[in-house]
């Protein structure tokens, strides 16, 4: 393609353009971590919920699956979409502890498991109330995910991508 008299080949120019964009528009630092977590979640015998909403100010250099840096303090919310329902999640993190409040819309009987994916693997469970509300007053911190199982169990469990508490 390149004219031998050209000082620089088309491919060299395009590589330079690619290099410029890599500098101008770098991916989130934890892009690969998000991919690996998603691939892990895909291995589970469960259907993945889709993250549809999050506090916009949370996004930025951090990825949307790992919205918060570890040990950040504050309150933030996430919303996931599943087959026939939505889940809103609000996470409040203080210096020493964290809590998670959730709402399933429309309300339906479900068991919810909160699993910590960190070094201390742990799972706690609760039930969705008549109003669709559920809560984990004390949660683990670090990378976690929620699993929803319909009562009575009829479909595959539904699991969120990992998120930070």
Partner 1 sequence: MLVAHRSPPLDFTWLYQEQDPRLYRDVINVSEVPGTQDAEPGARWSASAAAFVAWRDGDQAALEELVRLLSPTLWQVARAAGLDRSHAEDVVQTTWLALMDHADSIAHPMAVAGWLCTSARRESWRVSKRVRRERPTDDDVLHPTLPTAEGPETEVVLADDHLRLRLCLDRLTERCQTLLRMLAAGPRPEYAEVSAALGMAVGSIGPTRARCLDKLRRELISEGSL
Segment contacting partner 1 by CB under 8 A, of 2-10, 74-82, 101-109, 138-146? 2-10
- The nearer residue to partner 1, 110 or 143, going by C-beta atoms, is 143
DSSP 8-state secondary structure symbol assigned to residue 29: T
Among residues 147, 148, 144, 138, which one has the least CA distance to residue 116? 144
Closer of 12 and 122 to partner 1 (Cβ): 12
Measured from the CB atom, the residue of 12 and 123 that comes closer to partner 1 is 12
The verdict on 5 binding partner 1 (CB under 8 A) reads no
User: Phi, psi at residue 16, to the nearest 5°?
Assistant: -65, -40
Q: Hey, which residues between 43 and 62 contact partner 1 (CB under 8 A)? A: 54, 56-61
Contact residues: partner 1, CB under 8 A: 6-28, 31-32, 34-36, 38-39, 42, 54, 56-61, 63-65
């Amino acid at each position: 393609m390149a004219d031998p008299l050209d000082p620089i080949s088309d491919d060299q120019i395009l590589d330079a353009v690619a290099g410029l964009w890599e500098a101008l528009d770098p991916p989130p630092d934890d892009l690969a971590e998000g991919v690996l977590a998603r691939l892990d979640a895909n291995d589970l015998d469960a259907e993945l919920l889709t993250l549809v909403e999050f506090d916009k100010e949370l996004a930025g250099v951090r990825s949307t699956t790992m919205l918060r840096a570890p040990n950040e303090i504050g309150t933030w919310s996430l919303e996931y979409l599943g087959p026939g329902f939505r889940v809103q999640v609000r996470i409040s993190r203080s210096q020493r502890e964290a809590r998670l409040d959730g709402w399933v819309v429309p309300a339906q009987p479900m068991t919810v498991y909160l699993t910590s994916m960190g070094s201390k693997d742990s799972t706690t469970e609760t039930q969705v109330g008549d109003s669709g509300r559920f809560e984990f007053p004390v949660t683990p911190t670090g990378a976690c995910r929620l699993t929803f199982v319909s009562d009575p169990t009829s479909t595959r469990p539904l699991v969120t991508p990992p998120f930070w508490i």
